[in-house]
Each structure stands twice: as C-alpha cells, then as structure tokens.
Structure 1
C-alpha cells in the first residue's frame, strides 16, 4: 500500500476539490483520494507505488499546482 501527500495551491471550495478528485481518479490503480481545500492537502492511496509525475499532471489538468510533501 502506498500513500502520498501533496500540497495543492489555488483550491478554494468544494468544486475545486471535486475537480482535483476527478482528475486524479483517472489515474489507474488509485484506491482512496482525500482532498481538502481548507488545508490545501491531497492524499492519494494506492495498492502499488504511485507515479508522482502522473498525480502532479492530473492536479495541473484540474487547474491547480501541487508539490509532494
């Protein structure tokens, strides 16, 4: 099981959270996606190692920027 946390900038509301969640969900093999606009955190859990570049690209596709923490 692999869990990674990212700091996402620019999210301000539930719609922002949904946008990020939907883009990250398109990555294969993701089990749990937890997004909080209030804290600016994204936590992604998957059964195998996650591709950081893929997660970061998905967040960017949603219109935000992120860094792994």
Structure 2
C-alpha cells in the first residue's frame, strides 16, 4: 500500500494548495497550451489550474507545451481554458 492509500483501499492525492481529496473516478486529460516558455509559466499554470474544483493534480511540460490535468471526474474544459487564458496563455485543444 502506497503513502497515498487510505485504510479502506481508496487513494488520495494533494492538489497544489495541499488539499487532500479521495480519488474514486479520476481521469487525466492532456491539453495543448500555447505560450509556455519558462519555469514561471509552469508555476503559474500549476497554481491557477490547481485552484479549480475537482482538480487533483497538474503537470506542466513547457518543452512540449502540454499540460496534464487530473480531475475527480469529467474535466471542465471551459473552466480550464478560462483560467489559462486569464493567465496569459492559450489552450489550443486537447492533446492526442
């Protein structure tokens, strides 16, 4: 049993804010994002996406322009696109 597993066999994970959530039906969606160039971009997107409801983890890869978002259910593409846009970047779609 790993450190994230609870005694009842479910798993939990921490978000960027340190919240802990029980993961029942998590899924990871990868988005293509334009405008990523440095570590500041990575930390900014990790923070703003991580603050959304149902987001369990965020992984930003600035070299590929891909952002992997793990959510507790179906991701809210519109909400993710909005916070990314508000931060000065652009979601160009889901990555295949």
Task: Determine if the TM-score, normalized by the shorter chain, exceeds 0.5.
Answer: yes
Runs of 4+ in 1 over 6 A off after TM superposition: none
d(CA) in 2 for partners of 1:51, 1:12:
25
Which of the pair has the greater relative contact order for Cα pairs under 8 Å at 6+ separation? 1
Match of 1:19 among 44, 52, 59: 44
1:32 aligns with 2:60: no
State the superposition RMSD in angstroms: 0.9
- The residue that corresponds to 2:94 in the other structure is 68
- TM-score norm. by structure 2 comes to 0.68
Gaps of 5+ in 1: none
Q: Which has the higher helix share?
A: 1
1:55 aligns with 2:85: no
Equivalent residues, number: 69
Aligned residue for 1:32, secondary structure, equals strand
Shift of 1:26: 1.5
Gaps of 5+ in 2: 1-25
